[in-house]
Structures are given as structure tokens and as C-alpha cells.
Amino acid sequence: MFLAGAAAVAVTACSDDSTPSAPTTSTNAAPTKPSSTTASTTTTSATTLPSIELAADPFTLGVASGDPDTDSVVLWTRLAPLPLEGGGMPADDVPVLWEASATDDFASIAASGQEVAKADSGHSVHAFAELPQGTWFYRFRVGQYTSPTGITRVAPTDATEVRFAAASCQHYEAGYYAAHRDLAEHAPDFTLWLGDYIYEDAGTVGGDPAARIHLDAEPTTLEQYRNRYARYKTDANLQAAHASCPWFVIWDDHEVENNYAGLLPQEPDDLSEFEARRFAAYTAWWEHQPVRLPPPAAAGEEYRIYRDATWGELLTLVLLDGRQYRSDQACGDAVLDLEPACAEAADPSRTMLGDAQEQWLVDTLTDSSAQWNVIGNQVVMANATLNGAVLNYDQWDGYPVARERLLASLDTAGIQNLIVVTGDIHLAAVAHLRTDDAAVGVEFVTTSISSGANLDPQLTDLLKSFPDLVDAELAHRGYTLHTVTPDLWTAEYRVVTDVASLDSEVTTYSTYVVESGSNTVAPAP
């Protein structure tokens, strides 16, 4: 039901790129396909459906697409007839057919291919579909079953306007996903997911709303993380949001554990098990996200997810990993401590991104020729300190030397039109980014899809009084819709009236604009 509605909206929302003129046939195995993925990809026609008998519909987790470039896009699904019980698939690898078409009736197949859903990978599928630029319908088929239909896009070389959603933090127990329903209805060109896709805490019997509880214990193994992802992905509104457009997905902390830093767990006592736990969590993340990445290789090893993308000459998009390389939170990871920061926070050796990622970020934006330079970032970057007190040591405020070094490097490199898009903190905010002596960009913090407020809404006026914060909205859940043209960035903050209601209305709280070249954000006129 949601898929059909989203499809109709998406088609009408597309302009001149919605009817691709020169579809190719049977294009598979994009050159960027990671070599460590051993799933075979063979050319096939739409009629050679793999023959396998399945006892129940395996497409319970919907479909998704992501990481579009100008030649291809990743199509995702996972076969799971019993999604909350390990998947329920036979122990064999299973061939799956994917198809892409310019029309939702699939009357003409523009491209198709066969992927092996490997038992070792939770029967997940990452198909690298080579297609002409534009908008496409796609689906998967296995045995007698056909998946729901998704809509995806291959990124344009030229674009005069782009609209994308930024979203994060969808705690299942904290409410319903009316925000995802609204996102799907708006059919943006793409969604940028900024982290906290799952939450790892154990089920809370009597949660609010009580109908939505995790039911299982805190995950530490691959199978447990798979079941947790499945819990989230069975939500119809989340499936509709994925089916409405391609996503660029990065993670924050809760995909593994609250406030972990590199290989350091939240609780020092858990150190000996944390390498294995993080590997299980990273593997489950890869299995459940439409990412153009190989699976993680081994426990304790780096798993690089930071990467970049473009949308015509409008956007260069850099997607960060603010968890895997960071120094441990300083000063005991205190929250709302009103004492001036302890000396540890100012230690120049402390890092948020790690040396390699930080240099890559500066180099990537230095090489960018796009009109707008966008950083997809986990935790609040703007200065939100209060009289020298760091209110949240998990944020960039707790890494002040690294922040100053990064922003000064971007300023020195002459990066123009810098927009940082952030999640994590479950409130909406609009901020200026400054070095000690220069304005360098604007930060748009999206509120949570559903996760509960971290700060009492009574603190709203205090936050608004901070020099670099232009606005803050603490009381509502939602997401942000960004519309970008060469001259103007427009950020529309969508808010859910009542997150405890599946059918809640979603309205616009406020809209902010940045004119090209200004480094200044202001309410829309």
C-alpha cells in the first residue's frame, strides 16, 4: 500500500530525467564491485527465473537501493521468511534475479542480473546495477515470489536542482515512523542516513507506545544483530522510505553500542569481547544496508565506510565515519557537566576522524568542483559550549583541537559553500560553523525520526542564546528536506506532531536558507 503510493508520488515528482531514453540490457558486475564479494553475477534474461521452492515469502524486509554514481546503483534485499528468527532460510546459497525497468509494470526490462544470496551473508543481496542516468523501478524474484517494487536513481552528470532528505535516529521503542511515511510521500532524489539506524538496548516491556518493543536481549552476536535489524526493517513506513529513493547510509554509535570509540566499548569491563562484538555489528550493518562496499574482513580490522559521491555539479557529498577512528571521549564522557572542560579535552593528539580520514576529507573537498560541498557527519560540529563547559563530550565540542584544525584546513583550502548535515542528538538545530577567526560554513542538525529527546525542551531558549546557534527545536521528531540549486540552499524542517501515533500528521516547523557565497543562514523570507 505504501509502496504504490510512494511510486505514484515519485514518478510525478521527477522531471525530465524520469523517462530514460536509452536503456541497456543485462548490464552487471560494475567495475567497482568489491573483489571480496564472491557472489557470482551472470547475464540472464528476465525469463530464466532461478527455480527454488520456498515455504513462505522471503521478501519480508522490503527492498532498498543506495550509493548511486553516474553509471550504476546498488540494489538491496535480504531473503528472510522468518525475519525475527535468524531469517528462516535453508542453509544453502540461493540465486536471486533482479530486474530494472522504466515503468512500474516491468513491461520492458532495461537491465537484469542474477546474484547469489549467500547463507554466510544472511542471504542478503547487493546487486550493482549498471543503468543510464535517471529514475528506475526495480524488483527481485526468487522461486514463486516477487519482491515489492522500489524506485531508484542513477546520479546525474548535470543537475540544476536536487532535493534530498537527511534523517537519523529511529529508536523502535520510542515511537512510530510517521516521519518515514512523510519522507516517502515527498519522494526526494535521495536520502542521507546519518546514523542510529538500530538501537542496541534490550527490550523494554511497557515501552511507549507499548506495542513497539524490541522483545529480545541486547545483541552481541551476528545472529542477534540480524534479528535486531529485521525488527526495524519489518516496519512498513521504513520500507516505503527505502523504496522511494536511493539512500546514502553511514552509521553512528548505536549500530554497535552507545558512545563506543574505535575499539573501546562504553564499559571498560566489556573490552575483551568488544572486537568480536563490533565485527558482528559491522557485518550485520553491511548485510542490511544498500552500500557500495565489501563486507568487513575480520574482527579488529579497519572497515572503511567513509566515501564520497556527487550529484551533478551541484553537490560533492562526503560521508564520514565519526566512530571508528575517534579518541575516547574526554573527561569521563560527562553529559551536562557545567564545570569548565578538563585538560584532557584540549590534548592536541585527540582525534575525531583519525589522521587518514581527516586528510582525505580536506583533499576530497579541495579537489571538488561542485557548487556546494556537503559533509554527512555524525555528531554536532558547531560550538555549543557554555562558559567553557562542554555539555556533551561525545560531540565535536569534546574534540575542540581536532575541530579547529579541520575547519581551519577547509578555510585555508578555500572551500566555498560548506554545508554540514548532522544527526545524533535528537533535536533540530541550525548553526554557523566558525574557526577562531573566520566563518566557514553552516550546519543543519536534523532531529530524530523517532528517538526520544535527549534534552528537556525547556532548554530551547538557552540553546538559542548560544552565539553560533541560530535556531533549535527540541520537542519534536522528524527529518529535514534539503532543496539545492546553484544559487540557494533551502532546508525545510519536517516535524511529527505525535510520534506515538502511526498516523500522525507531519508539518513544517521552519525553513532556512543559505545563499551561495554567503556562509550565513537565515530564516526563509
Task: Name the site residues for Fe ion (rule: CB under 5 A).
Answer: 169, 196, 451
Burial class (CB within 10 angstroms; exposed 0-12, middle 13-18, buried 19+) of 338: exposed
Q: Minimum distance between the CB of residue 252 and Ca ion, rounded to whole angstroms? A: 4
DSSP secondary-structure letter at 42? B
Among 67, 189, 424, 492, binds Ca ion (CB under 5 A): 424
Decide whether 33 or 403 has the Cβ nearer to Ca ion. 403
Among 67, 196, 235, 287, binds Ca ion (CB under 5 A): 196
C-beta neighbour count of 35 within 10 angstroms = 6
345 contacts: CB under 8 Å, gap ≥ 6:
330, 331, 390, 393, 398, 399, 400
Burial class (CB within 10 angstroms; exposed 0-12, middle 13-18, buried 19+) of 169: buried
Decide whether 196 or 492 has the Cβ nearer to Fe ion. 196
C-beta neighbour count of 497 within 10 angstroms = 13
28 binds, among Fe ion, Ca ion, none (CB under 5 to 8 A by kind): none
Q: How many residues bind Ca ion (CB under 5 A)?
A: 4
Q: Minimum distance between the CB of residue 296 and Ca ion, rounded to whole angstroms? A: 20
Q: Minimum distance between the CB of residue 253 and Ca ion, rounded to whole angstroms? A: 5
Q: Minimum distance between the CB of residue 142 and Ca ion, rounded to whole angstroms? A: 35
Spatial CA neighbour of 477 closest among 172, 217, 270, 186 = 172
Q: Minimum distance between the CB of residue 170 and Fe ion, rounded to whole angstroms? A: 8
451 binds, among Ca ion, Fe ion, none (CB under 5 to 8 A by kind): Fe ion
Instruction: Give the whole-angstrom CA distance, residue 105 versus residue 15.
Output: 20
Q: Is 169 helix (H, G, I), strand (E, B) or coil?
A: coil
Please choose, out of 63-71, 120-128, 173-181, 247-255, the segment that lies near Ca ion by the rule CB under 5 A: 247-255
Q: Is 477 helix (H, G, I), strand (E, B) or coil?
A: strand
**What track of x and - describes contact with Ca ion for positions 384 through 423 (by CB under 5 A)?**
----------------------------------------
Q: Which amino acid is at 472?
A: A
371 binds, among Ca ion, Fe ion, none (CB under 5 to 8 A by kind): none
257 touches Ca ion (CB under 5 A): no
Burial class (CB within 10 angstroms; exposed 0-12, middle 13-18, buried 19+) of 59: buried
Q: Minimum distance between the CB of residue 36 and Fe ion, rounded to whole angstroms? A: 30
Q: Minimum distance between the CB of residue 215 and Fe ion, rounded to whole angstroms? A: 20
Decide whether 196 or 411 has the Cβ nearer to Fe ion. 196
Decide whether 385 or 448 has the Cβ nearer to Fe ion. 448
Decide whether 115 or 255 has the Cβ nearer to Fe ion. 255
Q: Which amino acid is at 514?
A: V
Instruction: Give the whole-angstrom CA distance, residue 430 versus residue 521.
Output: 8
253 binds, among Ca ion, Fe ion, none (CB under 5 to 8 A by kind): Ca ion
